[in-house]
Amino acid sequence: MNITFRQLRLFLALANTGSVSRAAHECHVTQPTASMQLKEVSDSVGVPLYEVISKRVHLTDAGRDLARTARSIADDWAAFEQRIDATKGLTRGKLRVAVVSTAKYFVPRLLGTFCAKHPEIDISLEVLNRDGVVQRLRDNLDDLYIMSMPPKDIDLEDQIVMPNPLVVIAAISHPLAARRKLELDELSKLRFILRERGSGTRMAVDAHFKRLRFKPNLRLELGSNEAIKEAVAGDLGISVISSHALHGQAAEHGVSALDVAGFPVESNWHVVWQKGKQLSPIAKVFQEHLLAQSGKWAHSRSDAEAA
């Protein structure tokens, strides 16, 4: 097979965008040129690499295999460029991070302090639900992944970043909001609004309730903490969410944390990547920054809550 590095980059862009025209735009070539180059790649491999259905590109098994290979080559080349830049006293390149939606309450701040130290580094931040982040992790699309419940069926390098306590919340006007030392059984007749199944928060909550043999009276399942807070503030029910979603406050946006036995549920944020993956120099620097700064951020947040 005779495939050039530029052709591999073009095919990788096709795999990432699902569109010949967008791949051409990303690689700064015309669409006819992209189509011709992609045909040459397919002809060189000797088997179909993709098909177009309803104007959307779908990779074949061989195409997905080639995309993984191209991605690995591109990552190795980017790491090489970063190492060469480092020998010249330069720190530049691209960092790709995927995080679950709840992590959006603190990861951008940590990225901000990182960018202040390394202004030449470009950041790609993907904020998705847990299933989306896990799929990107399986496909090895990013440098690092931040989530609260790493999958157990993938061999991972796993480091705890900081605590992610889960608290029970109710509307500020709710009769239980002013109570202290509530027993979990007192919540049995209340309606619960929980995150969707498959989210890290929901998995932790379900496991905690199962251990306590408590079955919540479920009214709604919602896909975001913001939607849950709105529903709880509207007195549709109570919920269990990450304390990070309260921005470090005991009460926020019409809801407040309840003092319930067995809560907060102890959970943690993790930074993970596939075992065997060679982190780029920039990813290693960010990983170190993340672990150092998250501890300081969590400590200052705890002080604010105590005050």
Place 118 in a pLDDT band, splitting at 50, 70 and 90: confident
Q: What is the pLDDT of residue 75?
A: 84
Our CA dihedral for 289, 98, 100, 110, rounded to 10 degrees, sits at 20
Same fold, 91-162+269-306 and 166-257: yes
The CATH-assigned architecture of domain 166-257 is: 3-Layer(aba) Sandwich (3.40)
Give the 3-state secondary structure of residue 303. helix
Helix (H) or strand (E) holding 220: strand 217-222
Q: What is the pLDDT of residue 87?
A: 65
Q: What is the pLDDT of residue 76?
A: 85
Structural domain spans, the chain:
1-90, 91-162+269-306, 166-257
Q: Are 121 and 237 in contact (CB under 8 A)?
A: no
Q: What is the pLDDT of residue 238?
A: 96
Average pLDDT over residues 142-155: 94
Q: What is the pLDDT of residue 89?
A: 59
pTM value > 0.85: no
CB atoms within 10 A of CB 77: 13
Q: What is the pLDDT of residue 236?
A: 95
Place 292 in a pLDDT band, splitting at 50, 70 and 90: confident
Place 307 in a pLDDT band, splitting at 50, 70 and 90: very low
Q: What is the pLDDT of residues 234-291, one digit of tens each?
A: 999 999 999 989 886 777 879 999 999 999 999 999 999 999 888 888 888 899 999 8
Q: What is the pLDDT of residues 56-70, one digit of tens each?
A: 889 999 999 999 999
- The CATH number for 91-162+269-306, chosen from 3.40.50.300, 1.10.10.10, 3.10.20.740, 3.40.190.10, is 3.40.190.10
Q: What is the pLDDT of residue 90?
A: 54
Q: What is the pLDDT of residue 45?
A: 92
Where residue 4 falls (left for φ over 0; alpha for ψ -120 to 50; beta otherwise) is: beta
- Given a cut of 70, whether residue 301 has pLDDT beyond it is no
Q: What is the pLDDT of residue 302?
A: 55
Q: What is the pLDDT of residue 305?
A: 52
Can you tell me the distance from the alpha carbon of 273 to that of 154, in angstroms, rounded to the nearest whole number? 9
Average pLDDT, the chain: 89
Can you tell me the distance from the alpha carbon of 8 to that of 155, in angstroms, rounded to the nearest whole number? 27
Place 134 in a pLDDT band, splitting at 50, 70 and 90: very high
Structure tokens at 297: 């951020």
Q: What is the pLDDT of residue 98?
A: 96
- Given a cut of 80, whether residue 91 has pLDDT beyond it is no
More confident residue, 296 or 208: 208
- Helix intervals (H) in 46-193: 61-87, 107-117, 130-139
Topology adopted by domain 1-90? Arc Repressor Mutant, subunit A (1.10.10)
Whose CA is closest to 234, among 190, 182, 172, 167?
A: 172
Average pLDDT over residues 174-186: 93
